[in-house]
Structure 1
Amino acid sequence: MSKHTNARATTNSTESHIINPVFVRPGEATEFPKFTIPDGLSLPETAYQIVHDEAMLDGNARLNLATFVSTWMDDEARKLYSETYDKNMIDKDEYPQTAAIEDRCWKIIADLWHVPDVSKSIGTSTIGSSEAAMLGGLALKRHWQGRRKAEGKSIEKPNLVLSTAVQVCWEKFLNYFEVEPRWVPVSEEHPVFDGYELEKYVDENTIGVVAIVGVTYNGLYEPVKEISAKLDAIQESTGLDIKIHVDGASGAMVAPFCQPELEWDFRVPRVVSINTSGHKYGLVFPGLGWIIWRDTEALPDSMVFHCSYLGGDMPTLALNFSRPGAQVLLQYYNFLRLGREGYRQIQQGSIDVATYLSGQIEKLGPFELVSRGDTIPVFAWRLKEDYTDKWNLYDLSDRLRLKGWLVPAYPNAEGLENQTLQRVVVRAGLSHDLATALLRDIESEIAFLDALESPMPREGTGSHFHH
């Protein structure tokens, strides 16, 4: 009897293990501690399911129209990613072929940006365009310091001239590297930094000027050639020779393919460095940026380190050390897979969707377009003055979020900070069909908001989106 009972218990236990779903296992049926490490082990399937389910509560990345970051790559790229995620970009001794591919990539980009002589240029990959921008700014500062020391002058109080519409990474650069900002505000007459009254902002302590090709607030290009011409005039009258760094986080991987005649890059002699995001319109998953300098003279020797690492001498000039190498390989994959024509088709396809969407939104009635998405595929709009006192763009953003769409509302840059904008970023993966679905939802939410008999409550509303 005892033997029969034990056998039955064993059978039941085995059956229970087989048929019990993951959700009744310890950790799923109960709760793991959130802020201390658990005392014991759990099954890998259990740990996976818990993390998977928490991540599932995030928004749908494909419907996130706030981010510039790539949310789609094809199956072969995903396969390559899964095969190479363990490569350490900094370990060039162990992964020499990944290092060689990084070298190819920045030279390909340098050629796209019309570097006069690629063999005399220098570049590197970074974690993102924020790190790349900081390297560009730091090179400007080091060059300015070197010139001032050679002239026997003070190196105190360096300043950098830039638009109030820059991305927050520039505020970090100014803070971390102790550079005074010379903010040029935007205005109705000058919605982007275009060199207007630039002479009021520069002096002998100016390390450089930042021009943005693809402003995050509205998708517009700042006219690099016009800014350069103004600096030419300033040099003629004052002797100040001030260089330009181009923040091409978004536009530098669109303009070469869709606006090839536009002179914004190294064709403009004052441009000494350019950064971009490989993980934005470089079409790579998150974690990749690039910076190129016109020539080795533009990058101070003091920023290049030579160190012995895992058996070899390794020059490095990035701020980060160990970092993923897979994204560099994905960038090279895209260059091989797409070529110039493939990039042109994808970027132009996104621009076509953006201009279709902006045109249809303009026809809805309540909005005025700030941009149309015909530079980079990004456009913004504002609510017409006196259209309604019952709702604003934050309310529309909240209503769209209920349907899964993240379409941010936010205050414009300093100078127009009392103006609220709403913006759509079109990326590869936002098809014409999805764009049409978004339009239907915008129309239905406008109808809902217009039908309100009293204003939406203001307390607790507002965008969580920040530049």
Structure 2
Amino acid sequence: MSERPMPLKAINKFFEGKEPWQIVTITASSVLAIVWTHSLYNARESVPSRLRKEFFRWLRQVPFVRRKIEQKMAEIKKDFKRDVAKRLSGMTIYRQLPENGFTEEQVAEEVRQHLVLGSYDWKAGNVSGAVYHVNEDISRVACAAYALTAYTNPLHADVFPGVNKMEAEVVRMTIDLFNGDEECCGTVTTGGTESIMMACKAFRDLAYSKGITNPQMVLPSTAHTAFDKAAQYLGIGIVTVPVSTETYTVDLDAVKRAIGRRTCMIVGSAPNFPYGTMDDIKALSDIALEYGVPLHVDACLGGFVAAFMPRAGHPIPLFDFRLPGVASISADTHKYGYAPKGTSVIVYRKPQFRHCQYTVSTEWPGGVYGSPTVNGSRAGGLIAACWATMMFVGMERYVRMTGEVVTTARYIEAAVRKTEGLFVFGQPATTVVAFGSHRFDIFKLADELHKKGWSVNALQFPSG
């Protein structure tokens, strides 16, 4: 009779002389430990993150802490109500439909009254990160296009093929700006968050097709929070990597260390929202090719500036499809594309990637139902207004406006650098200039600017 394999000998020796209940207990405990370790390894959220959340969840249950939180929340609620009451003072609050509809003039007057309730003159350029231009002729053209197409729905391609054509042309013009080839493709979305979510959905499903059941994405700590939202919606794990405290761009070595067998995508910002610095997209492209992982470039904020900067006399590092590792790019037409709010573009290097973005239901009694983006019905008016804006502005004017806004940003950057007590975070790549201070509380400066009618975005970790 042949000898038993060594592992079995070792197991038998380990259990030799033990009681049956001990054998059962040890076996069950071992199985549970293996299952727990496996679930821990494959969890979407990192162990430190879960421990931190659990700690604060426990801390909030401490009676003293809970009372302080409830007290603070009550104060915030009271302040909020007081602020709303102050802003809406003198305004009629409608809780029911009017018995008889308003006239056109009444509706227009009501809208005008609602637009002056804010604290800032958003048309004067005093608001950061909310309104990107106020130009009467562009607005007229966009609004006229929207008025003609307000009730169209490109989901029904046989009914509104013209709107589908306009969407395809917006996508193709964007691909051309980002130096893509004929194979590149994409869709128009309702904003940067949806563009980012679609890219995440595409690369998650691509990972599924490769047998990766718990995909993760690797992104800088400065990546837009829309990636966190996408992770929560789509069940994708996040591996956050730090940025350099000198350049405020992603740590490339940390990116390499973060990539594993579950990585479905890498993210780079061109530029990022907090600091306006641009990650080294060329280096990230090389890493993506080396590890065989798609690289998504988030250019939602500055894509429609960066694309025109070289023509406007402002060189910028490569960030687009000229880099072979770049798999997709998100860019907002409703920012520096100057289209009305509610449009963005997600473009891919290959149709295979876009195909993974789609959602199709084949078993529904209503028939086969497919949609390219989050929404089923889509606002054809917004697509038409975006198309009209791009066609009306044209290359020459985009280049000229880009030159003006970048020159202004460089002027602000230079002025901040010359101001004693202030410093600029890294090297601004496009139009965002982030600054802080090592000498005083920067939020006090923000408060003073607010008093003077300026709305600026506050930063944290570090303050700016």
Q: Which TM-score applies when normalising by structure 1?
A: 0.71
2-structure distance, mates of 1:345, 1:362: 26
Partner SS, residue 397 of structure 2: helix
Count of matched residue pairs: 364
Shift of 1:122: 2.1
Counterpart of 1:440 in structure 2 is: none
Shift of 1:90: 3.4
> Which of 283, 294, 299 is the aligned partner of 2:338?
283
Letter in structure 2 aligned against 1:291: I
Percent sequence identity over matched residues? Answer: 22
Counterpart of 1:20 in structure 2 is: none
1:420 partnered with 2:463: yes
C-alpha contact 1:164 1:186 (8 A) present in aligned 2:
yes
Counterpart of 2:388 in structure 1 is: 333
1:211 partnered with 2:268: yes
1:40 partnered with 2:83: no
Change (3 A) 1:198 1:97: same
Partner SS, residue 374 of structure 2: coil
1:65 partnered with 2:127: yes
Counterpart of 2:239 in structure 1 is: 182
> Which of 187, 200, 203 is the aligned partner of 1:124?
187
C-alpha contact 1:157 1:205 (8 A) present in aligned 2:
yes
The structure that is helix-richer by fraction is: 2
The structure that is strand-richer by fraction is: 1
2-structure distance, mates of 1:31, 1:327: 30
1-structure distance, mates of 2:392, 2:90: 48
Shift of 1:46: 4.8
> Which of 124, 143, 168 is the aligned partner of 2:206?
143
Letter in structure 1 aligned against 2:174: I
Alignment of 1:9-28 (within 5 A): none
C-alpha contact 2:449 2:455 (8 A) present in aligned 1:
yes
C-alpha contact 2:301 2:335 (8 A) present in aligned 1:
yes
C-alpha contact 2:141 2:389 (8 A) present in aligned 1:
no
Alignment of 1:104-123 (within 5 A): 104-116=169-181, 118=182, 120-123=183-186
C-alpha contact 1:158 1:179 (8 A) present in aligned 2:
yes
C-alpha contact 1:250 1:376 (8 A) present in aligned 2:
no
C-alpha contact 1:359 1:372 (8 A) present in aligned 2:
no
C-alpha contact 1:394 1:409 (8 A) present in aligned 2:
yes
Alignment of 1:340-359 (within 5 A): 340-359=395-414
Change (3 A) 1:256 1:31: closer
C-alpha contact 1:211 1:222 (8 A) present in aligned 2:
yes
Q: Which TM-score applies when normalising by structure 2?
A: 0.71
1:398 partnered with 2:417: no
1:96 partnered with 2:150: no
Change (3 A) 1:296 1:46: closer
Counterpart of 1:198 in structure 2 is: 255
Partner SS, residue 273 of structure 1: strand
1:255 partnered with 2:306: yes
1-structure distance, mates of 2:89, 2:228: 46
1-structure distance, mates of 2:89, 2:245: 58
2-structure distance, mates of 1:60, 1:158: 45
2-structure distance, mates of 1:324, 1:272: 27
C-alpha contact 1:219 1:377 (8 A) present in aligned 2:
yes
C-alpha contact 1:73 1:284 (8 A) present in aligned 2:
no
Unaligned runs of 5+ in 1: 1-27, 149-154, 412-416, 422-467
C-alpha contact 2:151 2:379 (8 A) present in aligned 1:
yes
Q: Deviations over 1:155-210 (max 9, x none)?
A: 33211000111112111001111111000122314511152332221100000101
Shift of 1:245: 0.9
Shift of 1:64: 4.2
Counterpart of 1:171 in structure 2 is: 228
Change (3 A) 1:315 1:112: farther
1:230 partnered with 2:281: no
Change (3 A) 1:50 1:126: same
2-structure distance, mates of 1:30, 1:291: 44
Counterpart of 2:352 in structure 1 is: 297
Q: Deviations over 1:299-326 (max 9, x none)?
A: 335725489xxxx999631111233333
2-structure distance, mates of 1:356, 1:54: 35
Partner SS, residue 162 of structure 1: strand
Unaligned runs of 5+ in 2: 1-87
Shift of 1:420: 1.0
1:56 partnered with 2:111: no
1-structure distance, mates of 2:163, 2:395: 22
C-alpha contact 1:60 1:404 (8 A) present in aligned 2:
yes
Change (3 A) 1:188 1:122: same
2-structure distance, mates of 1:90, 1:57: 36
C-alpha contact 1:354 1:377 (8 A) present in aligned 2:
yes
